[in-house]
Amino acid sequence: MKYSLCFLLLVFGLKTHSQRIALKNGDLMFQSINCGPLCDAINQVTEGYRGLDFNHMGMVVIKDNNVYVLEASGSEVKLTNYDDFVKKTNLPLYVGRLKKRYQALIPKAITFGLQQLGKPYDEAYIYDNGKYYCSELIYDCFLEANGTPLFKLYPMTYKSPGADIYFEVWESYFKALGMDVPEGELGCNPGGISKSRKLKMLGEI
């Protein structure tokens, strides 16, 4: 009986915790998904909020009382049903919200983001090439809304931590695209954005 009671309390606690966060337009969703060796390599060279691994992100858009996530994923920029977005998460899944003084940017950011629907996914991870990877889309949404960058770009790296060699998976990946590894090119990633001082991380959902 003790074990049953503890189990019920645990389930109730988890349910209550997940319901604490009422999602709003413009909330940023940070997740870790399983995409094999590429995602493992991303996790090794980026660090998110409280040291967590985030290799994907999107922005909440609420339409007709339905919750969607604007994301660059698969082959294009798209609106994904919230439940479908959650299903592909390999925990954790965290919510970040712009601090109050930046929230006026959200409507313009969403408008810009919706105008990008159907734009191709940026497989080359090159900033400002007419395509989008996940964090690049969010970066540009708020750049457009603010007129100047809200988040930061950093030199991207595809090298193993503490070594001067590329991850083999990245060398193979870019070779298949017919391009050199874009080491040092400016870009962004979900982990870096999750640590921005412009955000308040609301917790896990």
> What predicted TM-score, i.e. pTM, was given to this entire model?
0.88
Q: For residue 5, is it within any domain?
A: no
pLDDT at 143: 98
Q: For residue 4, is it within any domain?
A: no
For residue 152, what are the domain limits?
21-204
Residue 6 has pLDDT above 70, yes or no: no
Q: For residue 112, is it within any domain?
A: yes
Q: For residue 105, is it within any domain?
A: yes
Q: For residue 16, is it within any domain?
A: no
User: In this structure, what token pair is assigned to residue 16?
Assistant: 């209550």
Measured CA to CA in angstroms, residue 5 lies from 14, 91, 204 at distances of 14, 25, 24
Closest CA to 60 of 74, 79, 46, 76: 79
What's the one-letter identity of residue 108?
K
Q: For residue 3, is it within any domain?
A: no
Q: For residue 10, is it within any domain?
A: no
The CATH code of the domain that includes 104 is 3.90.1720.10
pLDDT band at 7 (very low <50, low <70, confident <90, very high): very low
Phi and psi, residue 86, nearest 5°: -65, -35
Q: For residue 14, is it within any domain?
A: no
Taking residue 134's Cβ as centre, other Cβ atoms within 10 Å add up to 27
Q: How far is CA 99 from the centre of its chain?
A: 18
The domain tally of the chain equals 1
How confident is the model over 132-177, as pLDDT tens digits?
A: 999 999 999 999 999 999 999 999 999 988 889 999 999 999 999 9
Ranges of H-type helices in 20-56: 37-45
